[in-house]
Structures are given as structure tokens and as C-alpha cells.
Amino acid sequence: MSGERLAVLTGGQLAESYAKTAHGVLRYGTREVVCVIDPVHAGRPAVDVVPFCASPAPVVADVATARDLGATTVLLGVAPLGGRLTAAWRETLLAALRMGLHVEAGLHTDLGADPELAAAARAAGVGIRDLRAVPADLGVPLAEPVGAQVVHTVGSDCAIGKMSVVLELDRAARARGLGSVFVATGQTGVAISGWGMAVDHVISDFVAGAADRLVREGADRGDLLWLEGQGSIYHPAYSGVTLGLLHGSSADALVLCHRAGRTAVFDYPGTALPPLPEIVRGYEQAAGWVRPARVAAVALNTAGLDDAAARRAVDDAAAETGLVADDVVRFGAARVLDAVLAALPG
Amino acid sequence: MSGERLAVLTGGQLAESYAKTAHGVLRYGTREVVCVIDPVHAGRPAVDVVPFCASPAPVVADVATARDLGATTVLLGVAPLGGRLTAAWRETLLAALRMGLHVEAGLHTDLGADPELAAAARAAGVGIRDLRAVPADLGVPLAEPVGAQVVHTVGSDCAIGKMSVVLELDRAARARGLGSVFVATGQTGVAISGWGMAVDHVISDFVAGAADRLVREGADRGDLLWLEGQGSIYHPAYSGVTLGLLHGSSADALVLCHRAGRTAVFDYPGTALPPLPEIVRGYEQAAGWVRPARVAAVALNTAGLDDAAARRAVDDAAAETGLVADDVVRFGAARVLDAVLAALPG
């Protein structure tokens, strides 16, 4: 929407990895962000809380302050486990609607279908945009070539930066003049790029069909597609989304995303992760059940490490796997991009 | 419902594989079936049309005849490709509602939300039951033991008999006095057993959570659960459902279902299937990403082969995999059941 100015709501969690929609929009979004709403971090600039955030937006304590700063839309910037509306979020979003602000969110809860929220929006003459809304006519994948080269990020876990990695690689590829396109598969990616689909909200029968549709839409926009990954084949709750996306993607190459030092699934600490080379093999086996694809490089998330430790972690990952490895957010996307382009057919 | 008597509607397709809901209810259902409604096959007993069908139900030509035979409920017994309501089905179901019969169906189309059908049901004081309806409060799997032993069928492809295999194994286990329970994950299974969930209709983020809920409900009903499988990790469209179900199942043992002689995915002939031992390894690897489980036996579907060829196919599968193999529908469930019970811990 033109003239739109976002206030990104994180309600105390701006520093947490659950605030990934906020982090993505602050780092990569092309839409204007007026402020972040977060009482815990209020008074500081967002860049002090969110690493690698280029936005000058301040953090304010409440919706009223955001409105006074000129915000037109409150974007819910947190994706809680399970994705449902909590009582606290409900109160804040209701307040925003009653102040005449639009609301945008990517929960599994359909806010537009909520009687109380819908009534408040109607009364104030504002809109509720559901970033997870999906087309009603999805089906199964076509058995036809896609007409573009597809690179897909896969990961050892959730919320470790699979979207940031494809955004960095897309940005670097465009800087080289390539016909590169970011293809969003989650609500944050849709919030950033303005198109795509939140595949985790699709009926499970249609996940692969949704991925197939997205890469075909992407092929109309460019010839080098960066398809955002979701979840992990090692994640007890979300592995089905991951495999459906992988099999529907027609991927020509994979980039494996990993959080340095992580040895178990974050949400399920009892579920251990295997060593990195085994994760590479796991994804190549899983892809090969339908269509072979190799892991071309490892994108390591070294957040929390100092530079020397980050370099060591990158070197270790490269030595362990025999692949190019780098932290593309911290050290730049060039080396991983080179490895991916060398791995693509043709 | 007590006092309930089913008429199973197949509208000309009783002999086709699309009538799998009808076939399942006729073969394994514990609910009373008064008749099948199918003008093409009317006048014959259902057993003449449906192989291995134990029901004495006649096939009649129309809904009025079914009503005169005492039917209280019309169950749509066909799952058409795409799962949507056709104009012909609409006419027949409307007629049934207007005659005062309940309607039960497992389409993707939500019949209860259809204004014309809903109005007819209200006017006649009867109900519409959607077998694919899923709970609104699904989430992610709990990280806690289930309190029952879980056996899960997995397969090389779709529509090769994964449900029939667990129904045969459950029946055989109950005949031995075990506290055995069939856990339905598709609309036909729900039609047969009266509970369960059509997991292919669940939002993809919640497939594993749905499986987890089903086995916990099953554990309240018995201590040996047979969880119906869906799809295949080798299927380009449905692999995500399969992996989500596998990881949410807490399976202690797997039974691999395979159609004898099949070398490619039926819906995607360009997608070759690997040899049977590799499929066994594929499922064990996939399970092991979250929780290890071994394939305890192979359940071969030998439909279409003569008895001698079926025996050879079973022997070949056993020799190839080193596992017990049998066609549990054709030759009985005893050997596969023995192998599964021997493989369970404790």
C-alpha cells in the first residue's frame, strides 16, 4: 500500500529468535518502518537490539506512541510456537484497530474471521491483512520442467536464518546482474517481498503443489530462483512441511543452513542433531527420493560468537563437510554464491 | 450413533478403486450397512462386485429404495480425484436429506457449509457429518512418551492398501485377545471406525501434532495401536504428509506396504521407485531423524496376481529384504503380526 508506514509489534520479544518477522522486515524490507513496539526495549534504536539491522527505527513502548509517530499499520513481528493468537496479543491488536491502525499478521489464527477483531476493524474503517492466507485452488505438482534454476535453503533446525540466507544470496546475485528472484514461503518473506505463500498454512496434501506453483510464478520473474526453506527434516513438529517443500521445489541445488554449535533441535532438546556431514547426506537422500539435488554449500549462522570464533566455526564446517562454508550475513554472500553458481547445471 | 443403518452411495463406481471408502466400510466396518446405492450394479449383492467383502448388503438403484430398506444415513463411498462435490452428487445428497436421511461424506468440499445442503438438512431435521473435519485446536507434538506401543504402516506409494493392512493386523491382534486399536488417519478409516482424523486435511504445520494427538487418544483405548499410514516418502505430491505422520507417530515399529511389481510412483510414472531393500532403509533413515524405528515386516499387495505368482512375489520380497513378508489380505495376517510383536520392545 502506498503511504503505508509500519509499526512492528514484538511485545517484549524483539531480542528473541521468535521475533523473526520483525528481524526480517527491519533487515531486508523495502517498506517504511516507523518504529518497533516493545516495552522491554523501548527507548533504544532497533539496531541496538537487532544485529545487522540497517533500519533507523526507534523502539517505543506502546501502540499510542507508534500512532503519534505516524504509523498506519501494526505488523505483528513475532511467530510464537504453534502460531496462535494469545490473550495479550489480542488486547494489543484490538487497541491498534480501535486507534484506526491497520493490522497485518501471519498467525495460524485467522484474525479476519475473529468476530471481536473483525468488528473493531469495521468500526474503525481499517483492514486486517492475513499474511498466511493461501489460494483456494491449490493442487499437486505438475510433472514438467520449471524453466528456471532453483536453489533451495534447507536447515538443521527452525529459526536459524534460512530466509536471511536466501535474501542475502538473492541480493548478491542481483548485484552481479543476474536475473535473481527471492521466493517467499513464509509469512515474513511475504511481508518483505509482497508476494509468495506461507506454505505451513497450506493443507498438508498441497504443500508440494504450493512449492511447485511458487517456483513456476518465480520463473515468470527471473531465471535464478532462491526458494526459502522451512523447518527441518530433523524437527519433530515441522519435518513434513520441509519434505513437501523440498520435493515440490524442483531444486537444482541446496544450501544447508546451520546454527554453529547447535547439537539438538531447539524446540525439542531431547532430539539430538547428527554431525553436519550426516545432515548434508540426509538432505541429499531425501531430495533423491523424488529428484536428486546436492548440497552446494553450508551457510553457517554464527550469531553470538566473536569474529575469531565465527571464523573458526566456518572453517570447521568447511573441513567437516568438504564444502564451501560461510556466514553470509556476517561475512558476505560472495563465496557461497560462487559455490552455488558453480554447482548449477548448464 | 446407535440405531444407525448405513446406505453407501457409489453412483456407478462401486467396482472402481475410487470407491475405496465403500470398499473399506463393506470389508472392515463394524457399523450396519443396509445396502449400497449404485444404479450400474443394482440387483446384485455387494460381495459380487467388491472382492473380499464379507457384507451381505444388496446393491440398490436409488436413495428411495435404500430408505425403504430402513437406511438412516447415506455415506458417500467414493473419493473422487480432487475431492470436490460434483453436480450429480449434489442432486443425490439433496434428495437423501429431503427424504430425512443423514448424510456423511469425506470430501474436501465442506458440505455442512453449503447453503443449499445445510438448509435441506435443517428443514428435514437431519445431520451432515464431514469425515474430513479436523479439530480447530491442533498444535505440535508433545515431547512425552505415549503410553502404548505404536505400529505404523508406511508405503512405497499411495493407494496400495496401507489401511487394509492395519485393519487386518488389528483384527488378528484382537482375535488373540490383545488390547489392539486401529487408529484412522484418513476419511475412509474414520468412516470405518467412527473416530480418528483425516490428516491430509490438516494444515501442514500440524500434521505431526495431529498424529501425536491420535496416538494419545488411541492409548486411552488400548495398548497396541495400529496407526494407518498415508502417502509415501517417494511420492512427489504427498511425501510431506507421510513424513509428518511418521515423525508424529512415536512409532515403535513400521510395516512397509508395497504393491508387487510396482517400479514407479503410479501418479508420477517418471518418478522411479528404488528396490525394496532401499525403501526399507529409506524409511528407517527418515524415522531415525527424529526417533529410530525399524521396519518389522513387509506387507505385499499381490492383487491381480494368481496364487502361485503371489506366493513367488511374497517369497522374493522376503529374500530381498531379509524380513518376514506376506499378503495379509490374501494369505492372512498371522505371520506379519508375529514378526511385528517380536520386534516390539518389552
How many other CB atoms sit within 10 Å of the CB of residue A307? 10
Four-residue CA torsion sign, A283, A284, A286, A291? positive
Cell numbers linked to A75: 505488523
Of B19, B20, B286, the C-alpha closest to B164 is B20
Q: Does B290 touch chain A (CB under 8 A)?
A: yes
Range with top average pLDDT, A83-97, A189-203, B144-158, B190-204: B144-158
Q: Which of A199, A203, A240 sits opposite B208 (nearest CB)?
A: A240
Give how far A146 is from chain B: nearest CA, Å.
15
Of B130, B295, B266, B281, the C-alpha closest to B197 is B130
Q: Give the whole-angstrom CA distance, residue A239 versus residue A257.
A: 15
Q: Give the whole-angstrom CA distance, residue B175 versus residue B25.
A: 19
DSSP assignment letter at B291: S
For cell 463406481, name the residue. B13
CB contact under 8 A, A203 and B207: no
CATH class entry, domain A6-130? alpha beta
Looking at A191-265, which runs of residues are DSSP E strands? 224-227, 253-259, 264-265
C-beta of residue B184 within 8 angstroms of C-beta of residue B190: yes
Q: Which of B209, B271, B285 sits opposite A290 (nearest CB)?
A: B271
Of B59, B60, B51, the C-alpha closest to B24 is B51
Pairing of strands A264-265, A224-227: unpaired
Taking only the tens of pLDDT, chain A with its 346 residues reads 457 899 999 989 999 988 988 998 898 877 889 999 999 999 999 999 987 777 889 999 999 999 999 999 999 998 766 678 888 899 999 999 999 999 999 887 889 899 999 999 999 999 998 888 889 899 999 999 999 999 999 999 998 999 999 999 999 999 999 999 999 999 889 888 878 999 988 999 999 999 999 999 999 999 999 999 999 999 999 999 999 999 999 999 999 999 999 999 999 999 999 999 999 999 999 999 999 999 999 999 999 999 999 999 999 999 999 999 999 999 999 999 999 999 998 7
CB contact under 8 A, B237 and A290: no
- pLDDT tens readout for residues A241-293: 999 999 999 999 999 999 999 999 999 999 999 999 999 999 999 999 999 99
Residues of A in contact with B237 (CB under 8 A): 140-141, 205, 208-209, 247-248
Q: For the purposes of burial, counting CB atoms within 10 Å of the CB of B17, is it exposed (0-12), middle (13-18) or buried (19 or more)?
A: exposed
- pLDDT tens readout for residues B31-84: 899 999 999 999 999 999 987 777 889 999 999 999 999 999 999 998 766 677
Q: What pLDDT does residue B82 have?
A: 67
Q: What pLDDT does residue A83 have?
A: 73
C-beta of residue A206 within 8 angstroms of C-beta of residue A194: no
CB contact under 8 A, B202 and A199: no
**Longest C-alpha distance within chain B, in Å?**
61
Q: Give the whole-angstrom CA distance, residue B210 versus residue A237.
A: 10
Q: What pLDDT does residue A308 have?
A: 98
Q: What pLDDT does residue A276 have?
A: 98
Q: What pLDDT does residue A211 have?
A: 98
Residues of A in contact with B200 (CB under 8 A): 203-205
One-character DSSP codes across A123-179: HHT--EEETT---TT--PPPSS--SSEEEEEEESSSSSSHHHHHHHHHHHHHHTT--
C-beta of residue B95 within 8 angstroms of C-beta of residue B63: yes
Q: What pLDDT does residue A81 have?
A: 65
Q: Does B202 touch chain A (CB under 8 A)?
A: yes
Q: Give the whole-angstrom CA distance, residue A52 versus residue B18.
A: 55
Strands of the sheet with A180-183, listed across from one edge? A180-183, A224-227, A149-155, A253-259, A294-301, A324-326
Residue B10, amino acid: T
Determine the angle formed by the axes of helices B239-248 and A239-248, rounding to 10 degrees: 160
Give how far B289 is from chain A: nearest CA, Å.
5
Q: What pLDDT does residue A125 have?
A: 96
Of A300, A285, A297, the C-alpha closest to A330 is A300
Q: Give the whole-angstrom CA distance, residue B177 versus residue B170.
A: 11
Select the more confidently predicted residue: A86 or B166. B166
Tell me the CATH number for domain A149-343. 3.40.50.300
Residues of A in contact with B287 (CB under 8 A): none
Pairing of strands B253-259, B294-301: parallel
**Any idea how long chain B is?**
346
Residues of B in contact with A241 (CB under 8 A): 204-205, 207, 240, 244
Q: What pLDDT does residue B204 have?
A: 94
How many other CB atoms sit within 10 Å of the CB of residue A117? 22
Q: Give the whole-angstrom CA distance, residue A251 versus residue A294.
A: 9
Within the 29-68 window of chain B, which residues sit less than 8 Å (CB to CB) from chain A?
none
**Substitution target from B214, B289, B291 for chain A, most A beta carbons within 10 A:** B289
Of B226, B21, B211, the C-alpha closest to B106 is B21
Q: What pLDDT does residue B150 have?
A: 98
Phi, psi of B117, rounded to the nearest 5 degrees:
-65, -40
Q: What pLDDT does residue B1 have?
A: 47
Q: What pLDDT does residue A133 have?
A: 85
One-character DSSP codes across B235-257: -TTTHHHHHHHHHHTT-SEEEEE
Question: What stretch(es) of chain A map to CATH 3.40.50.720?
Answer: 6-130
Give how far A259 is from chain B: nearest CA, Å.
17
Question: What stretch(es) of chain A map to CATH 3.40.50.300?
Answer: 149-343
Q: Give the whole-angstrom CA distance, residue B239 versus residue A289.
A: 9
Select the more confidently predicted residue: A226 or B1. A226
CB contact under 8 A, A202 and B202: no
Type and span of the H or E element at B288: helix B276-288
Q: What pLDDT does residue B136 have?
A: 87
C-beta of residue B77 within 8 angstroms of C-beta of residue B52: no
